[in-house]
Amino acid sequence: MSLPIKKASKVSEAMVWYHFVPRSSPEGAAWYEQYKASGCEDIAILFDTGVAMMRKRQVAEGKALLDKGYRQLEEAGRQHLPSSVYGVAEEGYWSGIAYYHYHVEQFEQARQALDSAQRIVNAAISEAPFLSTFATRCHDLCLHDARVSRGLRQWRDMWRFIQQAREMVRGERPLCQPSWGSIYMEDALSFFRAVEPENDVEREALGYLLDEEKSLTAFEQRALGATLIPTAIIPW
């Protein structure tokens, strides 16, 4: 059976965690077909756009896009979509709204939203184990928790979250724990190692995704940023 190829014209597109899922298995192909046909992929892109606007200090405009996307997501939810489809887009909302709360210094609400995002990742992968690379969202969520702790001046918690995220990236701590077990960074790396790139764009993207040393170096740079006390909100 020939599985569909998701096209990428830029390396950043090929590095999106689900780019290679459609060709990984018939289940992955069916998942992506439903994710796209239901409108969830476009909604998730809208959430990403909202976050990008907030990073440029366009907070009100970004929040408006999150609200618009969530209304669309509620409409899509009337199709009785599986949590592995609906939840992937919904995680984008909760992580995005966490960033909004972080921007306006509503740190407790930001933490609650991050907790919701983590639960959604667990639920989606519990239902669809072939979405193992979705778990790579979790060390980012953990690092966001560190930034929230910094905002609350909870220094011990800040360092604890940074260390937990570091252990996730190193493969020493599970990225997430779905109902059937645990997913480690090695599980995501194994998925990417099995991929046959279709072009130079994918080959370059896989080079980044599979370079563990560079990934850890990039993490440490971000972790350092998470410890800095900003005079204005620092983008995550």
Q: Count CA atoms within 13 Å of residue 183 on its CB side.
A: 29
User: Which pLDDT value is given to residue 5?
Assistant: 64
CB-CB contact of 49 with 65 (8 Å) = yes
Residue 25 sits at φ, ψ, to 5 deg, of: -170, 165
Q: What is the pLDDT of residue 131?
A: 97
How much of the chain, in percent, has pLDDT values that exceed 70? 95
What is the predicted pLDDT for the residue at 229?
73
**CA atoms of 43 and 36, how far apart (whole Å):** 10
Compute the average pLDDT of residues 28-43: 96
What separation, in Å, do the N-terminal and C-terminal C-alpha atoms of the chain show?
Answer: 41
pTM above 0.75, yes or no: yes
Where along the chain do its domains lie? 11-227
Does the pLDDT at position 97 exceed 90?
Answer: yes
**Token output for 73:** 């997501």
Residue 176's DSSP bridge partners are 183
Q: How far apart are CA 182 and CA 160, in angstroms?
A: 20
Cα(1)–Cα(21) distance, rounded to whole angstroms? 15
* Nearest alpha-carbon partner for 39 in 93, 97, 89: 89
* pLDDT at 80 exceeding the cut of 70: yes
The residue among 81, 75, 78 whose CA lies nearest residue 128 is: 81
The residue whose two tokens read 């929040």 is 63
- Integer angstrom CA distances of residue 226 from 75, 111, 142, 222: 36, 15, 11, 6
Q: Measured between alpha carbons, how far is 67 from 186 in angstroms, rounded to an integer?
A: 36
If pLDDT is split at 50, 70 and 90, which confidence band does 132 have?
A: very high
